[in-house]
Amino acid sequence: MELAYLENISKEFNYYKSLGEKTLDQLSEPEINFIPNPEGNSIATIVKHLSGNMLSRWTNLFHEDGEKSWRNRDQEFINKKTSKKAVLDDWNAGWDCFFNTFNQLSETDLHTIIYIRNQGHTVLEALNRQLAHYAYHVGQLVFIGKFIKNTDWKSLSIPKGKSTDFNASKFSNKKSKTHFTEDL
């Protein structure tokens, strides 16, 4: 069961990473720095936060609290102009840290207790927590990107008005046990 869980959640993390990358690919440097309202965050800021979270949570997972003393979370939310290269560097640094740790996990690690702000989690619970957190923020990236690009947006899922065609294609195949991301 645990091996199947690790395989499945790996596909889920990769899916959200892919959605973020496909969003970033569509945006220019000014667009990733666009702030939707005075209380909002730019895509660059959200990426900075995601990266800071990943680096903090997944560095020395079994030996240090997931909220590192060197992390300054409040600084992650200061909107400032950032180059697209710097945003992509932050994005890749966070995901590389996560996957470097994730790819070393074994089935028995899933029941090991780790800490985030002194609150104990099994690794399995921490993975679920982080998957929800990353999906939440990637959803923000996609939403802002779609807002900015408007009619120039390249859909990352089933395009508007194409559900019938998509379903017809799916139902023309034999039933199978595959992950939904395998044919994206």
> Residues 103-122: pLDDT tens digits?
999 999 999 999 999 999 99
Mean pLDDT by 10 residues, the chain (184 residues): 90 97 98 95 98 98 97 95 97 98 96 98 97 98 97 92 87 84 73
- For 33, 106, 141, the CA distances from 136, given in Å and listed in that order, are 19, 26, 9
Model pLDDT, residue 173? 86
Domain of residue 135, residue span:
2-183
Model pLDDT, residue 112? 98
Report the C-alpha gap between 107 and 84 in whole angstroms. 37
Model pLDDT, residue 170? 84
The CATH number that applies at residue 77 is 1.20.120.450
- What's this model's pTM, rounded to 2 decimal places? 0.93
Mapping DSSP to helix (H, G, I), strand (E, B) and coil, where does residue 115 land? Answer: strand
Model pLDDT, residue 180? 80
Closest CA to 94 of 142, 48, 60: 48
Measured from the Cβ of residue 39, the count of other Cβ atoms closer than 10 Å reads: 6
Report the C-alpha gap between 181 and 89 in whole angstroms. 25
Number of domains forming the structure of the chain: 1
Model pLDDT, residue 48? 98
Model pLDDT, residue 184? 66
Model pLDDT, residue 51? 98
Residues 6+ apart with CB under 8 A from 12: 131, 181
Model pLDDT, residue 176? 82
Model pLDDT, residue 177? 83
